[in-house]
A and B are shown apart, each in its own frame.
Chain A
Amino acid sequence: MTVTEITATETAADMELIYGYPESLTEAYTIYCAGCSHGTIHRLIAEVLDELDIREKTVVVAPVGCSLMAYDYFSVDGALAPHGRASAVAVGMKRVSPDKAVFSYQGDGDLAAIGTAEIVHAANRGEPITAIFVNNAIYGMTGGQMAPTTLPGQVTTSSPIGRDVKEAGFPMRMAELLGGLPGAAFVTRQAVYDLPGIRRTKQAIKIAFQTQLQGLGFSLVEVLSICPTNWKMSPDQALEWAQKHMVDYFPLGDTKMSDEVRTMVEGQ
């Protein structure tokens, strides 16, 4: 192996920076477990905020759940919402600050259980906010209990013999539910299980923010993620399990793209 010495004329300062740390991400260490998808999703959002140059006009609403300290990780203004109410808090902000980009970052317990009413009505009214909905099929912060998105048969600390749909009902397909509402402009489900999926997720997040910035209505990106800790798997096993089972029950793709959003996307 040959080592090429960097000469005085080729210092790092002279090189073109093609990949760096996003300005919209703080340098704080996160509280997330090893293998958790939140870090990846945070980074994608931060890259989008940088690319759209909206960091200085963006406000994040953090949920109750593992990502409750999201406001510490994005270098934007932020607030913490009561459990499930992030979309309502975002609506209140946006209604009095229509020139700001307001997004909620919510998990499956927050958005698909306790906060169902708030997200459904925000979407149905076509509130011009963006929701990033992270679905890992389990309650992470409270120690791995059954979520509204827990798969049939999936073992959790509160479904010890596996989710019995006769007792506990079926996993909620939120992207389909919300995509069916007339007020929703852009609703999609993506997964951060491999590099192509990560790229598609970033593209979806970008479209979602652009939908808001253009005043085209409500946008939501459901992101399928993993929770190795509470799934009791290694990150590798978790990714494998997710690709096999999560994507099967929660199909990827757009469940709603309004004509205006489509025109915007096709014009890019």
Chain B
Amino acid sequence: MAMELIEGNRAFAEAAVRAGAEAFFGYPITPQSEALEHLSKRLPELGRAFLQAESEIAAINMVYGAACAGARVLTSSSSPGISLMQEGLSYIACSEVPVVVVNVMRGGPGLGNIQPAQADYFQAVKMAGHGNFRMIVLAPANVQELVDLVTVSFDLAEKYRTIVMIAADGAIGQMMEPAELPPLCPVRPAEERADWALTGAAGREPNTITSLYLGAENLERVNLRLQAKLKEIAANEVRWKEYETDDAELLLAAFGTVGRICQSVVREARAKGLRVGLIRPISLWPFPNARIAELAEQVRGILTVEMNAGQMVDDVRLAVEGRCPISFYGRMGGVIPLADDILPEVERMADELDLGVEA
């Protein structure tokens, strides 16, 4: 397949079509509306389901209904819209139906603005709704990775009967980059839908999909089953990328757009003789705890850089467990830190740690 110049929002939407998505339900919100616009044309022309819902609340419940029916389904939104979907996400998690949600994050809190941000990290990885549950959360750093993660997301969602959230941001959603899209894959025929799906109780006992379990012990059993599944996911689905970590003395930890910027920071710091490396978590949950703990034994300190007030840094601290000092640099409200903003922080930390400069 050839590379094409494509905007992030349209790219993930088209990637979903090609990954065999049968339905999309969503509500317009900047900076992700181009995805909904793209799907409003593409899905109907392929005879698949598209519906602009009356709200994000309705949209996520339509997604739930379509997933219950056994269809490959997604929605996308941006921060305030995801907040509206949280009740539905909790029901979906307990009901164990596969769903893909894309959050093209913007600045908050409140209505905030439409600039790119990463301030929904806690919401995505810690508590996407009420009750005990987690979603697989994948954070791309460029349009190609966003495209590639769409197919991965559908596969993981169906493998584990869980929610997969792609946590992108307004920069990735709005940016045009060359990317290679996957080939168009046909939708799964209705007669091949999963055996748990609500396809009509013809020649079998009725299927029920619920999140209601009366009795404390009964619901605890369900929770234990869900936790066991999450443990399996945590053991098998950790994804990250590293740059120049082999001999690093100072480690940058950053995800998504700012993770990409930090690659430039590593290059510039190395040009100044500082042995700096980068770990860029792709799966924000499950988090690459083990690898970060390993690197913490090697490096003298870690600088976490985020487009928020300091959220992933908590997980870095939990992974590091005091093995080395950790600093944080973040910008908020949609400000994207540039390499020139981050480099002085790297130099200051290197100075504090008394790191040597290579000639």
Contact = CB atoms under 8 A, between A and B. Distances in A.
A77 B51 contact: no
A92 B199 CA distance: 13
Given A56-B202, A77-B199, A100-B200, A92 B208 contact: no
B23 A92 contact: yes
Contacts of A80: 91, 95, 209-212
B182 interface: no
Interface in B28-87: 49, 51, 53-55, 57-59, 61-71, 73, 87
A57 B202 contact: yes
A197 to B, nearest CB: 30
Interface string A108-123: 0000000001101100
Contacts of B23: 92, 95-96
Contacts of A82: 61, 87-88, 91
B50 to A, nearest CB: 9
* B interface, size bucket: 35 or more
Contact of B88 (A68, A85, A90): A85
B206 A76 contact: yes
Nearest to A58: B200
A100 B65 contact: no
Q: Give chain A's interface secondary structure class.
A: helix
A79 interface: yes
B200 to A, nearest CB: 4
Nearest to A97: B69
* A interface, size bucket: 35 or more
A71 interface: yes
A88 interface: yes
Interface in A54-70: 55-59, 61-62, 68-69
**Which of B53, B58, B203 gathers most chain A CB within 10 Å?**
B58
Contacts of B198: 59, 77-79, 93, 97
B88 to A, nearest CB: 6
A90 B190 CA distance: 17
Nearest to A80: B210
Interface in A92-136: 92-97, 99-100, 117-118, 120-121
Nearest to B22: A96
A233 to B, nearest CB: 27
A55 B210 contact: no
B61 A88 contact: yes
Nearest to B63: A92
A72 interface: yes
A57 B202 CA distance: 7
A188 interface: no
A89 B53 CA distance: 12
A59 B207 CA distance: 9
Contacts of A118: 54, 57-58, 61
Contacts of B88: 82, 85
Contacts of A96: 22-23, 49, 66, 69-71, 73
Given A77-B201, A77-B206, A91-B51, A59 B69 contact: yes
Interface in A136-187: none
A2 B210 CA distance: 53
Contact of A79 (B49, B55, B68, B200): B68
B62 A88 contact: yes
Interface of B: 22-23, 25, 49, 51, 53-55, 57-59, 61-71, 73, 87-88, 91, 95, 190, 198-203, 206-212
9 contacts: A56-B201, A74-B206, A79-B208, A92-B63, A92-B65, A92-B66, A97-B71, A117-B54, A118-B54
